[in-house]
Chains A and B, each alone.
Chain A
Amino acid sequence: MQSLGGRPNIFPYLLLLPALIITLVIVAWPLVETVRLSFTDAALKPTENFVGFANYEKIFSKKFPEVIGRTFYWMAISVSLKMIVGTMGAMLLNSRVPGRDFFRVLVMPPWIVPIAIGVFIWAWMYNGQFGMISGVAQYLHIIAGPYEFLGDRTGAFYSTIVTDIWIGTPMVTIYLLAAMQSISPDLHEAAWVDGAGRMYRFRRITLPLILPAIATMGLLSAIWTFNSFDIIWILTKGGPRDATTTMIIDTYKTAISRNKYGEGAARAVMIVIFLSSFAGFYFFMLKQFAKRSLAK
């Protein structure tokens, strides 16, 4: 008699069928189609012609390299601050003080609530005349008069980063907290008996043991940040004067607002190329960690 899980067997493929159909139609085919469109002059008109690399030449002769640079700069600041704030948050919430279970519950809301709604609240807070941040900063005499945070290029650039950090930090915190808690307390106790101080134990026990989690989260966070659309779109729509136009925003504006599908697709393909290199690195890292834990 055939065993339940053995081969040869088409049954497992049948089990995968619903998931495969949905993801093939909604993700895989559009991905292929994006590549094809990027070599055409597709737009609102009914016909499309093959144009070779013309779209790519066109975008690279324009401001596109600047957009790539801006995207990476935006992402680098946002991700590194998320990791730093998140790690510190996890350390604080990992300390054995009364009330910590309650504090932990309070960390998640920015991640749980609809992203767009969180961003609406920030849009109000950045208001220069009546918003909270400008108001409190004036009260503390940090700024002299009303400051419209989304009004100038520098302000808008860093304001969108702050909102992105606000949304991304809870996930980093909770993830690293879970990693810290999986460390056996025996390790700390043994080190303590040997006279190791708290900072020393953090550097020599906690940090090395959560390093895989930090690396994983850092990379995932980079991928999510790279894909971030809602935050910038709601706050600034990529402005003022393109100061917050990242690759995703640029693609959306080209394709959906200006109906230049071909050129938009070429931009999307560039995004996919960057993302796949992150993804490749991610899988490589997972494999390395798996190997290392097997070797032990």
Chain B
Amino acid sequence: MINKYSRLEMVGIYLGIGVFLTFILAPFLEAFLVSLRPLNQINSVPYKIFTENMSFDAYFSMWHNVPKLWLYMWNSFFVATCVTLLALFAVIPSAWAFARFEFKGRDALLGAFLAINMVGGAVLIIPLFKLMKNVGLLNTYWSMILPGAAFLIPTGIWLLRSYLMKIPRELEEAAWVDGASRLYILRRVIMPIAMPGIVVVAIATFIGAYAQQFLFALTFNSSSDLYPLPVGINQFFGRQQVVWNEVMAASLVGILPVLAIYIFLQRYIIAGLTAGAVKE
């Protein structure tokens, strides 16, 4: 077998991993600690990691002090779900088209879709704002759902296309010869076989949609009833004194859904994110 690590090398590797993970995880740990501190302990000098009277009070008081917190969380979840459904509705047929059919301009179209990934939402914010205003979508869920989905569709198409290309075409051809219509094949042959791929795309899209709720929600909404959680928490900062323990508690609770999804499905998520790093 190939050479083992010496004891010194082992120590070095663990030390390196330790430093690396400290950088990655320290903010979460600090957020958790702050959420447990009473306000007068947060604003005390010198800085101490553990302070007196730590408790989960902020996790209860935040619901009173920010009455709409539930609503913000629901909005985040609802918008991300709608974005995912809308994106899947567009991604599944397109990915099939790109994977199986020959048509004029196919490669150019695929390239154009990928190019969308290069343009950030902030660049297009002016016409998007005017568009939303003109069609009356300002201050509606649609103003977050539509742009959210549009910017996530390209990655979805790319992921699902490479999945579909690995599926042998014999099944589709057999159904076609038996006289099934193309739409029937899509619904009854392709979608069942491609389900694992579709699930990966759905998870990746949901996480992306949940993670990126800031710019559109901030710009297209003035109604706090529609705020997703990040914009809702952003309101905390406008106050005279920032209630840091509640901000941190609300942030951590808001992170929980995606973190849970990630822990259970991390294998698929990583597979989705790293498609392309590995040559097939």
Seen from chain A, the residues whose Cβ lies within 8 Å of a Cβ on chain B are 3-7, 9, 11-19, 22-23, 25-27, 29-31, 33-34, 37, 85, 88-89, 92-93, 95-97, 103, 105-118, 120-125, 129-132, 134-136, 138-139, 146, 166, 169-171, 174-179, 181-182, 185, 188-189, 192, 198, 213, 216-217, 223, 226-230, 234, 248, 251-252, 255-256, 261, 264-265, 268, 271-272, 275-276, 278-279, 282-283, 293
B223 interface residue per 8 A CB criterion = no
Cβ contacts under 8 Å, A130 to chain B: 42-45, 47
Residue of A whose beta carbon sits closest to that of B266: A105
Sampled A-B contacts (17; CB under 8 Å)? A14-B93, A15-B96, A22-B90, A30-B128, A34-B124, A92-B20, A112-B211, A114-B229, A114-B230, A169-B24, A174-B270, A176-B277, A181-B278, A198-B3, A255-B129, A275-B123, A278-B118
Cβ contacts under 8 Å, A230 to chain B: 214-215
Given contacts A93-B17, A171-B273, contact A15 B125 (CB under 8 A): no
Cβ contacts under 8 Å, B113 to chain A: 19, 23
**Of the candidates B91, B125, B146, B210, which one forms a contact with A256 in the assembled complex, judged by CB atoms under 8 Å apart?**
B125
B71 interface residue per 8 A CB criterion = no
Additional 14 contacts, C-beta under 8 A, given A9-B103, A31-B119: A7-B103, A15-B186, A25-B150, A26-B124, A30-B131, A92-B13, A92-B16, A103-B17, A105-B266, A114-B230, A132-B47, A228-B120, A268-B126, A275-B119
**Of the candidates A19, A166, A278, which one forms a contact with B94 in the assembled complex, judged by CB atoms under 8 Å apart?**
A19
Given contacts A114-B254, A124-B247, contact A188 B2 (CB under 8 A): yes
Q: Is the CB of B91 within 8 A of A19?
A: yes
| Docked complex Cα distance between A216 and B176 (Å) | 39
Q: Is the CB of B273 within 8 A of A175?
A: yes
B195 interface residue per 8 A CB criterion = no
Given contacts A114-B210, A136-B47, contact A293 B153 (CB under 8 A): no
Q: Is the CB of B247 within 8 A of A18?
A: no
Cβ contacts under 8 Å, A278 to chain B: 118
Given contacts A30-B124, A88-B16, A116-B233, contact A223 B210 (CB under 8 A): no
Most chain B CB within a 10 A radius of its CB, from A16, A19, A135, A178 = A19
| Docked complex Cα distance between A228 and B147 (Å) | 17
Cβ contacts under 8 Å, A213 to chain B: 277
CB proximity to A under 8 Å, residues B103-156: 103-104, 106, 109, 111, 113, 115-131, 146-147, 149-151, 153-154
Cβ contacts under 8 Å, B131 to chain A: 25, 29-30
Seen from chain B, the residues whose Cβ lies within 8 Å of a Cβ on chain A are 2-3, 5, 10, 13-14, 16-17, 20-21, 23-28, 30-31, 34, 42-48, 76, 86, 89-91, 93-94, 96-97, 100-104, 106, 109, 111, 113, 115-131, 146-147, 149-151, 153-154, 157, 169, 172-173, 176, 182, 185-186, 207, 210-215, 219, 229-231, 233-234, 237, 244, 247-248, 251, 254-255, 258-259, 262-263, 266, 269-270, 273-274, 276-279
**Of the candidates B101, B169, B258, which one forms a contact with A9 in the assembled complex, judged by CB atoms under 8 Å apart?**
B101
User: How far does the Cβ of A289 sit from chain B's closest Cβ, in whole Å?
Assistant: 9
Cβ contacts under 8 Å, B118 to chain A: 223, 275-276, 278-279, 282
**Of the candidates B14, B266, B274, which one forms a contact with A175 in the assembled complex, judged by CB atoms under 8 Å apart?**
B274
Cβ contacts under 8 Å, A33 to chain B: 126-127, 130
Cβ contacts under 8 Å, B97 to chain A: 12-13, 15-16
Most chain B CB within a 10 A radius of its CB, from A22, A27, A171, A252 = A27
Most chain A CB within a 10 A radius of its CB, from B3, B42, B116, B273 = B273
Cβ contacts under 8 Å, A105 to chain B: 263, 266
| Docked complex Cα distance between A9 and B210 (Å) | 38
Given contacts A23-B153, A113-B258, A234-B234, contact A12 B17 (CB under 8 A): no
Q: Is the CB of A23 within 8 A of B150?
A: yes
Given contacts A112-B207, A129-B43, contact A19 B153 (CB under 8 A): yes
Residue of A whose beta carbon sits closest to that of B96: A15
Given contacts A26-B150, A97-B10, A108-B266, contact A31 B124 (CB under 8 A): yes
Q: Is the CB of A116 within 8 A of B214?
A: yes
| Docked complex Cα distance between A107 and B17 (Å) | 10
Cβ contacts under 8 Å, A22 to chain B: 86, 90, 146, 149-150, 153
Cβ contacts under 8 Å, B47 to chain A: 130-132, 134-136, 138-139
Q: Is the CB of A26 within 8 A of B102?
A: no
| Docked complex Cα distance between A9 and B167 (Å) | 22
Cβ contacts under 8 Å, B176 to chain A: 3-4
| Docked complex Cα distance between A216 and B211 (Å) | 23
**Of the candidates A25, A85, A92, A248, which one forms a contact with B122 in the assembled complex, judged by CB atoms under 8 Å apart?**
A248
